[in-house]
Amino acid sequence: MLRKLLILLVCLFSFALNMIAEASGTEITALHWGVSKENVFRVVLDCTGPTDAQAVLNDDSLMVSVGGGLKPYVSKDYKVKSDTVDHVELQATGEKTLLQLPLTRKLASSDYKIFVLKKDPVTKRPDRIVIDIASSNLNFTPVSGTEAVIPGTPAKPTFEIGGGIKGKMITLDPGHGGTDPGAIGKQGTKEKDITLKISMKVRDYLLDKGAQVSMTRTNDKDVYGPDATDAQELQSRVDVAQTNDADLFVSIHCNASTNPNVGGISSYFFPKTDYDKIAAAAIQDDLTKKFALDDLGVRQANFYVNKRSSMPTVLIETAFLSNQKEEKLLRSNWFQNKMAKAIADGIEDYFAATGGDQ
């Protein structure tokens, strides 16, 4: 145990020295927080470059000093939900930024860890400082020196919840495409064209809100390849969300039924995480508030993209192409716009609402 601690200290020290040299000019651009399924409270600071952080643990607070300034537009006070911390404050002190976490219970030094994540060009994530605090009923397994502090150790494939939409990675999947037209309306409207148009508009709204967006397709193509099997095609869409380490995966479809009288909006989830249903409900709520179409509800379904992805996933059925009235709506630009805005607002609500109380 003592040896492990020594290794840890040596690692920490050399790492800190190394990082201080690089820290000049670095600035914090955003703070995100969330609570994992294992009830670990996490704060992530996005930075413009590599930096370091040191923590001081007191009885009633955890103070983290981060090398680098604070961009003026970053909020300084955050209300959070966890069993250890209820608010987080940032304080710019010239070359350093102080992160204050007032504690609602006493922590042991093994209850928290601080580490850096290097910039990741693949997922377009910036350099980050991460602070994890274990919940009261779950301690971290003893830290084996290297794991916690080696810079750039890739984070476990995970997703962030809560803390607002800024900086969150959202993967959008316009349903069908290429050789697969999806449903076709009486007027000849193809599902693949409408889902792409709406998805591209959702992307713009999400980018405006400060989110990061990755797309399974941005033109009329098969994601896997022409005439692929359902398995190849659906899995390749899930793969896009996985490789982008998405926090939320949203697949956008138009519905169709053999019965032309059926119409309405529905949002589907598969309950593989605690947040799938919450995300679906947040989106469905915005959709049904803004449209006078039937509310078919938030429904559980064994859909491939929902089930086979690791992050919370929602499949939205915007409206029915088999319903004459709704086909006309789906074809119109204003409806696509309104639909896209409602979806983006729903996603924003999801990240604003999720916290530590689930």
Partner 1 sequence: MMKWYKLLLAPLLILCFLASGCSTPKTEEKPVTPPVVNEQRFVVYRVTGEGQGYLVAEKYTIKDNGKSAAENALRTLIETKPQDSKLVNVLPADTKVLGLSIKDGVASADFSKDIKKLGGGSYNELMATGAIVNTLTEFPEIKKVQILVEGKKVVSLNGHMDLTDPLERDTSLLSSGQKTKAK
List of residues 6+ apart from 87 with CB closer than 8 A: 77, 78, 79, 80, 102
Selected binder of partner 1 within 262, 274, 328, 341 (CB under 8 A)? 262
Q: Which is nearer to partner 1, 51 or 322 (CB)?
A: 322
Q: Which is nearer to partner 1, 244 or 306 (CB)?
A: 306
251-284: burial string, b at 16+ Cβ within 10 Å, e else:
bbbbbbeeebeebbbbbbbbeebebbbbbbbbbb
Q: Which of 199, 132, 197, 195 is nearest to 170 (CA)?
A: 199
Number of residues that bind partner 1 (CB under 8 A): 39
Q: Are 244 and 214 in contact (CB under 8 A)?
A: yes
**For residues 19 and 13, what is the distance between their CA atoms, to the nearest angstrom?**
10
Selected binder of partner 1 within 120, 180, 239, 274 (CB under 8 A)? 180
Q: Which is nearer to partner 1, 297 or 355 (CB)?
A: 297
Q: How far apart are CB 285 and partner 1 at their closest, in Å?
A: 17
Q: Which is nearer to partner 1, 112 or 320 (CB)?
A: 320
Residue 261 is a binding residue for partner 1 (CB under 8 A):
yes
Residue 276 is a binding residue for partner 1 (CB under 8 A):
no
Selected binder of partner 1 within 64, 117, 256, 281 (CB under 8 A)? 256
Q: How many CA atoms lie within 13 A of 2 on its CB side?
A: 0
β-strands 53-57, 41-47: how paired?
A: unpaired
Q: Which helix (H) or strand (E) holds 202?
A: helix 191-208
Q: How far is CA 250 from the centre of its chain?
A: 11
Q: Which of 288, 319, 314 is nearest to 300 (CA)?
A: 314
Q: Which is nearer to partner 1, 167 or 175 (CB)?
A: 175
Selected binder of partner 1 within 13, 230, 271, 289 (CB under 8 A)? 230
Q: Are 332 and 318 in contact (CB under 8 A)?
A: no
**For residues 113 and 107, what is the distance between their CA atoms, to the nearest angstrom?**
11
Residue type, 106: K
Selected binder of partner 1 within 259, 332, 352, 357 (CB under 8 A)? 259
User: DSSP character for 314?
Assistant: E
Handedness of CA 119, 125, 126, 129 (dihedral sign): negative
β-strands 27-35, 41-47: how paired?
A: antiparallel
Q: Based on C-alpha coordinates, what's the Rg of the chain?
A: 22
Candidate ranges 6-14, 71-79, 258-266, 277-285; the one touching partner 1 (CB under 8 A): 258-266
Q: Which is nearer to partner 1, 110 or 259 (CB)?
A: 259
Q: Which is nearer to partner 1, 69 or 182 (CB)?
A: 182
Residue 190 is a binding residue for partner 1 (CB under 8 A):
no
Q: Which helix (H) or strand (E) holds 231?
A: helix 230-243
Residue 196 is a binding residue for partner 1 (CB under 8 A):
no
Q: How far apart are CB 183 and partner 1 at their closest, in Å?
A: 5
**Other beta carbons within 10 Å of 288:** 21
Q: Which is nearer to partner 1, 137 or 302 (CB)?
A: 302
Q: Which is nearer to partner 1, 230 or 357 (CB)?
A: 230
Q: How far apart are CB 254 and partner 1 at their closest, in Å?
A: 6
Q: How far apart are CB 96 and partner 1 at their closest, in Å?
A: 50
The string of DSSP letters for 56-112 reads EE-SSEEEEEEESEE-TTS-SEEE--SSSBSEEEEEEETTEEEEEEEBSS---GGGE
Residues 280-339 that bind partner 1 (CB under 8 A): 294, 296-297, 299-304, 307-308, 315, 317, 320-322
Residue 176 is a binding residue for partner 1 (CB under 8 A):
yes
Q: How far apart are CB 209 and partner 1 at their closest, in Å?
A: 27
Q: How far apart are CB 251 and partner 1 at their closest, in Å?
A: 9
Which residues are at the interface with partner 1 (CB under 8 A)?
175-176, 180, 182-183, 191, 229-231, 233-234, 253-259, 261-262, 264, 266, 268, 294, 296-297, 299-304, 307-308, 315, 317, 320-322
